[in-house]
Amino acid sequence: MGTKDFGGLGEDLAVRLMESQGMEILERNLHIGKMGELDIVAMDGETLVFCEVKCKHENQELGGFQAINYAKQQQVKRLARAYLVSFEGEFRYCRFDAVEVVVDSEGRTEPVVNQLKDAWR
């Protein structure tokens, strides 16, 4: 499985989890100019959610949540601000979530999906 397919699997599982919680998915893999990409943008009630997804093999030393370091958090914040500009205050609340998908390298077990709501500010 290539890196793009691997990341896509993680995002598919994250979307499935978020939808099961009643969230409405607004955007996936949204490119904002040359600034970067938002993995998932969703609505959770009245709250706009920007979700960063990391997919990893179980034998990788660095966890998915650990890969969302300060620099990555700041990049997602910049992308979120750019996204919000076009809506002129339409959204009153927003938060940043993280989803980690851990995949068995051998494919023996189902992936494990972990979620952190309001993971950073």
CATH of the domain at 8: 3.40.1350.10
Examine the pLDDT at 10 and tell me if it is beyond 80: yes
- Residue 90 vs residue 23, higher pLDDT: 23
CA distance 67 to 1: 20
Q: Which domain range does residue 30 map to?
A: 3-120
Q: What's residue 60's pLDDT?
A: 76
Q: What's residue 8's pLDDT?
A: 82
65-72: long-range contacts (C-beta < 8 A, 24 or more apart)? Answer: 65/98, 65/100, 65/114, 65/116, 65/119, 68/98, 68/119, 68/120
Percentage of the chain lying above the pLDDT 90 cut: 69
Q: What's residue 6's pLDDT?
A: 65
Nearest to 37 by CA among 48, 26, 51: 51
Query: In total, how many domains does the chain have?
Result: 1
Examine the pLDDT at 14 and tell me if it is beyond 70: yes
**Can you give the length of the chain in residues?**
121
Burial class (CB in 10 A: 0-12, 13-18, 19+), 62: exposed
pTM: 0.90
Least confident of 24-33, 56-65, 111-120: 56-65
* Model pLDDT for residues 34-86, shown as the tens digit of each residue: 999 999 999 999 999 999 999 988 877 777 898 999 999 999 999 999 999 98
